[in-house]
Amino acid sequence: MTEVRVLVIEDEEPLADSIKYNLELEGYQVEVAHGGNAGLRKFKEQEPSLVLLDVMLPEISGLDLCRMMRAESDVPIIMITARDSEADKVAGLELGADDYVTKPFSMRELLARVRANLRRLGMESGIFDLDQELLEGGPVRLDVGRHEVTVDGDPVQLRPREFELLVAFLRNQGMLMTRDRLISEVWGMDYFGDTKTLDVHIKRVRKKIEPDPKQPRYLVTVRGLGYKYVDD
Ligand code: CA
């Protein structure tokens, strides 16, 4: 079994200790950093499988760290945000974080998020390699096995969750995809976050595939229900 290394960057020491304790009970290897500088150094040394990143940190803010880590790695990043800071959640997701938890959170919730965000590591390790599926819709052509996407013939880089979303849409063209269904297909049944994460990912996919992301032609909203992929 491969070792799963989690890096926890959190300056509240009791919280960091409690997270470490609970993650270790689940069998993860855990490193803790209490500030931005140590966090960045450990990130580079340790090459973690997943990062839990507090937004409010001494030395380097969590948002800046998120941007720096994302510039060199695809590692899943879960932001830890303060309860009232909607702006931080969205900013974190837009900088490339995969998910967030809001303080105060239960350890059960945190562990569920960690598991859900590690699921895609299994996918990268080759479960999908035998999949010869080619999907097409509108300007998009997607090769599931090769993990390649083109839009009007030009290669486009999608992050893992964006890719999984697009696969779900292309496999179900013309059908209503409710938010619940998308979340359970892409993030897993045990995900119990809100739908902001989904909406930010939809926005990112639109930016990459739509001629005019503000007026989507392919990945359209079905008001009050969810989304639908149409090939016009
Ligand atoms: Ca903090």
Cα distances from 197 to residues 16, 26, 91, 152, 220, in angstroms, run 24, 25, 11, 27, 17
Judge if 39 and 99 occupy the same domain: yes
pLDDT of residue 120: 64
Residue 128 lies in a domain: no
Query: Rounded to the nearest whole angstrom, what is the distance from the C-alpha of residue 69 to the centroid of ligand 1?
Result: 18
61-70, 128-137, 168-177: least confidently modelled range: 128-137
Please determine, for residue 124, whether its predicted confidence score (pLDDT) is greater than 60: no
Distance 80 CA to ligand 1 centre (A): 9
Q: What is the mean pLDDT of residues 16-27?
A: 93
Kindly list the distances between the CA atom of residue 196 and the CA atoms of 43, 86, 90, 162, 193, in Å, as whole numbers in the listed order.
Answer: 27, 10, 8, 14, 8
When pLDDT is cut at 50, 70 and 90, the band that residue 56 belongs to is very high
pLDDT digits (tens, 9 = 90+) for 163-179: 999 999 999 999 999 98
Residue with tokens 């969590």: 62
The two tokens of residue 89 are 């959640």
User: In terms of domains, do 164 and 223 share one?
Assistant: yes
| CATH assignment at residue 107 | 3.40.50.2300
Contact 95, 67 (CB under 8 A): yes
Q: Is residue 129 situated within a structural domain?
A: no
Query: pTM score, two decimals?
Result: 0.62
Helices (H), 73-159: 86-94, 107-122
Query: Do both 69 and 163 map to the same domain?
Result: no
Distance 12 CA to ligand 1 centre (A): 6
Count: domains in the chain: 2
pLDDT of residue 91: 83
195, pLDDT greater than 80: no
pLDDT band at residue 192, thresholds of 50, 70 and 90? low
CATH code of 189's domain? 1.10.10.10
At 190 the pLDDT is 64
What residue has token string 């059960």?
Answer: 108
Q: Does pLDDT of 132 surpass 80?
A: no
- What H or E segment, with its residue span, contains residue 4? none
Cα dihedral: 202, 162, 42, 89 (round 10):
10
Instruction: Say if residue 88 is in the same domain as residue 186.
Output: no
Q: Find the mean pLDDT for residues 17-23.
A: 94
For 147-165, the pLDDT digits (tens) are 899 999 999 999 888 999 9
Same domain, 159 and 193: yes
- Ion ligand 1 neighbours, Cβ < 5 Å: 11, 54, 56
Residue 27, pLDDT > 70, answer yes
Q: What is the pLDDT of residue 183?
A: 87
**Confidence at residue 187, expressed as pLDDT on a 0 to 100 scale:** 81
Give the DSSP letter string of 50-63: EEEEESS-SSS-HH
Mean pLDDT score, 43-72: 93
The model's confidence at residue 189, banded by pLDDT at 50, 70 and 90, is low
Domain shared by 95 and 163, yes or no: no
**Is 165 among the domain residues?**
yes
Closest CA to 17 of 33, 2, 1: 33
User: What range defines the domain where residue 153 resides?
Assistant: 134-229
| Closest to 109 (Cα-Cα) out of 118, 100, 98 | 100
Ligand 1 centre from 173 Cα, in Å?
43
